Structure 1
Amino acid sequence: MTYTENVRLALHAINSNRLRTMLTALIIAIGLSALVGILTTLDAVKKSMTEAFSSMGANSFTIRNRGTGIRIGGNGVRPKPFASIRYEEAIAFKKNLEIPVTVAVSVFASDGATAKYGSKKSNPNINIQGIDENSLNAQGLDLALGRNFSKAEAEQGTNLCILGDDLKTTLFGDDSPIDKVITTGNGRFKVVGVTAKKGSSMGFNGGRTIYVPLFKAKIINESANPSYTITVMSPNSEETEKIIGEATSEFRNIRKVKIKDPNNFEISKSDAVAQTLIENLSYVAIGGVAIGVITLIGASIGLMNIMLVSVTERTREIGVRKAIGANPSVIRKQFLIEAVVICLIGGVMGIMFGILLGNVISLLMGGSFIIPWLFIIGGFGLCVLVGVISGYYPAKKASKLDPVEALRYE
């Protein structure tokens, strides 16, 4: 018998027991959709994360008063915070670093503000961030409307602001906000720009942010002791390590760190942060794979049980086939192919649902839509493997039936 005839017989047998077969295929689909869905989500998030950090510049590094705090799957130990980086220290570093780099300084002034324009009012979830003339570029942000702050405006603390795209839509709809005055807290700010749309990154949504001049943020900051963030962008990757050394030495002098003492600040490269996040996502991937594999093991046991029942129910049919010349290899092949076909039916449903589920979650998290061809091919391969493993014993049992005893079976 050819493979085509075996597949046709398998589909006929499946059609005869549709409910039982579909329930088994559904178990396989659930296991495979969990596996493909989680891996698709992680792949899409990794892609989005890589793009986000690439837009910030692979050659940049950041100086903070503490580590990033990324400890997914670790021992739960949070990074030790050092004394806050003061405004004067950040500005001194920016002015004193005598190497060809771009330095940006920023600070969060508020994370629960509201903004008003006329009768329109935002929800109390607006971030106010103080930035200098280089910060938008350092954060990978572009302007959709208007202009950036000048160096003088950032240092003088003028009542100007740049709106995130979501906030602009909330307050102004389709109208231009340029040169309009909004109110936030006790201050009134003239809008000079609007950022282009960009997804969320590590919980921070730039679309719901009001960017104000750096010195203005110092005046209105809700924190009594805010810590400023310094981002240094080097011209090329070859010089990054050298520039980190120069920056470390300069900032140690500004912070008056003694030669024998360790740094009281943290320096992290942007691509290193992305790599840490991606590596930590592997713990989630392991959990997802474990869930999918356990479900598939359960499905394979169920499939083996169904195939054993099928062999028992079709004992007389097997006897007839052997009596007219079918050898054990033909019988074994028929039942193996039937098990594989059932797995593939469940696999198609599971892969399609897994890709859909994974991409929906990814889009909700600000990621992008992807078609994971590797997971699709791997999923089908896994289905064939489960089918062969689950169907081998029942197929072997069917091939060893004595034709005389099988024909007498009722």
Structure 2
Amino acid sequence: MFNLFRENTKIALGSIRAQMLRTILTIFIIGLGVWALVGVLAAVAVLESSIMGNFAVMGTNTFTITRYDTSGQIGRQNDADVRENPIVTYPQARAFQEKYNFPGAKTSLSFTAASGVEVKFGEKESDPEVTVLGADENFLPNSGLETTQGRNFTNFDISNNNYVCLVGADFEKGILKDVNPIGQTIAIRGAKFKVIGVLKGRGSTFGNRQDLNLIIPVQLARSLYSAPNIDYTVKVSIANPDFLDGAVGEAILSMRRIRKLAPVAKENFGIERSDELLETLKSETDTLAAAAWVIGIITVFGSSIALMNIMLVSVTERTREIGVRKSLGAKKGTIAMQFFTETLVICIFGGIIGLILGLLTGFGLSAIMNASFPMPWVATFAALGTIVIVTIVSGLYPAVKAAALDPVEALRYE
């Protein structure tokens, strides 16, 4: 049996070399189908890893109080939502922080002080894309952030308005390259800050370069950036995730009292729970994965039809050869296995090329997004399964048709 397969493989390779142009086109068709399947699945894996990773670091024991709730409408926020709810002012955020005393809860205040800022270090200048955040000492742990060098803010830094800052990971690649960033002095619109910590890299999400963020004490940010209608964000972490429901309920009651809402009035603020947000994101990525499978299956189906037609043409062109082989004693099984093996060899070549291109697509996307590249094992096994399916679908009928040819009629074929 092995000798027969080896002989059929030699014949298949000889036929492939004899019809090089047709073979290249066929391999390209199969490779395109596998590329579409593996490439889209690999891209979805990168997106899921990037998006889910950025939110999963917060854990399932946090929630955020904002002007409106976007957890159920990711990517679908509109102007009506913004106009409906008043902003969360500093007095309101501060009052919540003082009055909310749920056991084991830590509350942080933050706001976006400025965006598109240029930062200077000596003679060096950063890209004018830096976002300055005002935050307190609880902002990092409540947001799932951590430092790779230096330290976080302390209560002393916040209460005394110390001119200190935390910088994103991209600063080490930019103006703070080749120097120890801790203890260096940088200038932000004329104000000088001492770097006390470098944040761990988080990559980019939908074009938002999070590693270019710069964080300064919240009170100091309020005095330096006094823009009107500043909207504050309150983040709360709970020591025990089992008490999250109770913590959220008490937070809603506290915020309603602070916003002076009537008992029957609807909340004019949003509560975004990290666990619900993760579930929403998981649902979105699952939809993308399902769409990827549909696209891949359609492409593979089209590739199978194209390959079958090409193999049927090959059978027609080699009818006389089949007749000669049958007249010399070749059995139907031998003829069928010859054409089936030829289809298998073409599919293997096409599958390997498509798999490599698909993985390169996912790797390229991860490099563009500055995110990790998880090995898409599902996509890899899908490619192997695709090769088997395409071989069976595309090679079985032409092989059976070739084996069923009458040797006398085949010898008469011109």
With normalisation by structure 2, the TM-score equals 0.90
Tell me, in whole angstroms, the C-alpha distance in 2 between the residues paired with 1:121 and 1:397.
Answer: 72
Tell me, in whole angstroms, the C-alpha distance in 1 between the residues paired with 2:61 and 2:10.
Answer: 59
- Match for residue 93 of structure 1 among 92, 96, 106: 96
- Match for residue 22 of structure 2 among 13, 20, 23: 20
Tell me, in whole angstroms, the C-alpha distance in 1 between the residues paired with 2:99 and 2:55.
Answer: 27
- Match for residue 171 of structure 1 among 153, 170, 175: 175
- Following TM superposition, by how much is the alpha carbon of 1:29 offset from its aligned partner in structure 2, in angstroms? 0.7
Alpha-carbon spacing, 1:267–1:209, altered in 2? closer, same or farther (3 Å): same
1:378 aligns with 2:379: no
2:237 aligns with 233
- Following TM superposition, by how much is the alpha carbon of 1:157 offset from its aligned partner in structure 2, in angstroms? 3.3
2:366 aligns with 362
- Following TM superposition, by how much is the alpha carbon of 1:158 offset from its aligned partner in structure 2, in angstroms? 3.3
- Following TM superposition, by how much is the alpha carbon of 1:8 offset from its aligned partner in structure 2, in angstroms? 3.2
Alpha-carbon spacing, 1:77–1:109, altered in 2? closer, same or farther (3 Å): closer
Tell me, in whole angstroms, the C-alpha distance in 2 between the residues paired with 1:196 and 1:319.
Answer: 70
- In structure 2, give the amino acid aligned to 1:67: D
Tell me, in whole angstroms, the C-alpha distance in 1 between the residues paired with 2:137 and 2:235.
Answer: 12
1:161 aligns with 165
Contact 1:27–1:295, Cα closer than 8 Å, also in 2: no
Task: Report the 3-state secondary structure (helix = DSSP H, G, I; strand = E; otherwise coil) of the residue aligned with 1:68.
Answer: coil
- Match for residue 328 of structure 1 among 329, 332, 338: 332
Alpha-carbon spacing, 1:353–1:222, altered in 2? closer, same or farther (3 Å): farther
Tell me, in whole angstroms, the C-alpha distance in 1 between the residues paired with 2:369 and 2:33.
Answer: 23
Contact 2:9–2:342, Cα closer than 8 Å, also in 1: yes
Tell me, in whole angstroms, the C-alpha distance in 2 between the residues paired with 1:252 and 1:191.
Answer: 38
Matches within 5 A, 1:277-316: 277-316=281-320
Tell me, in whole angstroms, the C-alpha distance in 2 between the residues paired with 1:204 and 1:136.
Answer: 18
Tell me, in whole angstroms, the C-alpha distance in 1 between the residues paired with 2:294 and 2:53.
Answer: 28
With normalisation by structure 1, the TM-score equals 0.91
- In structure 2, give the amino acid aligned to 1:80: D
1:193 aligns with 197
Task: Report the 3-state secondary structure (helix = DSSP H, G, I; strand = E; otherwise coil) of the residue aligned with 2:243.
Answer: helix
Query: Where does structure 2 lack aligned partners over 5 or more consecutive residues?
Result: none
Matches within 5 A, 1:75-224: 80-81=81-82, 82-99=85-102, 100-221=104-225, 223-224=227-228
- Following TM superposition, by how much is the alpha carbon of 1:54 offset from its aligned partner in structure 2, in angstroms? 2.7
- Following TM superposition, by how much is the alpha carbon of 1:212 offset from its aligned partner in structure 2, in angstroms? 0.8
2:323 aligns with 319
Tell me, in whole angstroms, the C-alpha distance in 2 between the residues paired with 1:198 and 1:296.
Answer: 36
Tell me, in whole angstroms, the C-alpha distance in 1 between the residues paired with 2:50 and 2:87.
Answer: 31
Tell me, in whole angstroms, the C-alpha distance in 2 between the residues paired with 1:180 and 1:312.
Answer: 77
- Following TM superposition, by how much is the alpha carbon of 1:271 offset from its aligned partner in structure 2, in angstroms? 3.2
- In structure 1, give the amino acid aligned to 2:328: I
Number of residue pairs the alignment of both structures matches: 409
Query: Where does structure 1 lack aligned partners over 5 or more consecutive residues?
Result: none
Contact 1:132–1:154, Cα closer than 8 Å, also in 2: yes
Tell me, in whole angstroms, the C-alpha distance in 2 between the residues paired with 1:204 and 1:266.
Answer: 22
Moved more, 115-124 or 283-292: 283-292
Give me the identity figure in percent. Answer: 39
Tell me, in whole angstroms, the C-alpha distance in 1 between the residues paired with 2:344 and 2:369.
Answer: 36
Contact 2:71–2:280, Cα closer than 8 Å, also in 1: no
Tell me, in whole angstroms, the C-alpha distance in 2 between the residues paired with 1:345 and 1:165.
Answer: 42
Contact 1:71–1:77, Cα closer than 8 Å, also in 2: no
Contact 2:46–2:365, Cα closer than 8 Å, also in 1: no
- In structure 1, give the amino acid aligned to 2:253: S
Moved more, 288-297 or 56-65: 288-297
Tell me, in whole angstroms, the C-alpha distance in 1 between the residues paired with 2:290 and 2:226.
Answer: 41
Cα deviations across residues 334-392 of structure 1 (Å, max 9, x unaligned)? 32232232122101110111012112212321321222222212212112212222223
Tell me, in whole angstroms, the C-alpha distance in 2 between the residues paired with 1:101 and 1:79.
Answer: 33
Contact 1:110–1:222, Cα closer than 8 Å, also in 2: no
Alpha-carbon spacing, 1:389–1:228, altered in 2? closer, same or farther (3 Å): same
Matches within 5 A, 1:233-272: 233-272=237-276
1:34 aligns with 2:32: no
Tell me, in whole angstroms, the C-alpha distance in 2 between the residues paired with 1:194 and 1:62.
Answer: 24
Contact 1:44–1:369, Cα closer than 8 Å, also in 2: yes
Alpha-carbon spacing, 1:78–1:269, altered in 2? closer, same or farther (3 Å): farther
Contact 1:200–1:366, Cα closer than 8 Å, also in 2: yes
Task: Report the 3-state secondary structure (helix = DSSP H, G, I; strand = E; otherwise coil) of the residue aligned with 1:172.
Answer: coil
- Following TM superposition, by how much is the alpha carbon of 1:396 offset from its aligned partner in structure 2, in angstroms? 2.6
Tell me, in whole angstroms, the C-alpha distance in 1 between the residues paired with 2:80 and 2:278.
Answer: 17
Contact 1:319–1:404, Cα closer than 8 Å, also in 2: yes
Tell me, in whole angstroms, the C-alpha distance in 2 between the residues paired with 1:118 and 1:389.
Answer: 67
Tell me, in whole angstroms, the C-alpha distance in 1 between the residues paired with 2:171 and 2:318.
Answer: 68
- Following TM superposition, by how much is the alpha carbon of 1:249 offset from its aligned partner in structure 2, in angstroms? 1.1
Tell me how large the CA RMSD over aligned residues is: 2.4
Contact 2:112–2:131, Cα closer than 8 Å, also in 1: yes
2:69 aligns with 67
Tell me, in whole angstroms, the C-alpha distance in 1 between the residues paired with 2:297 and 2:76.
Answer: 26
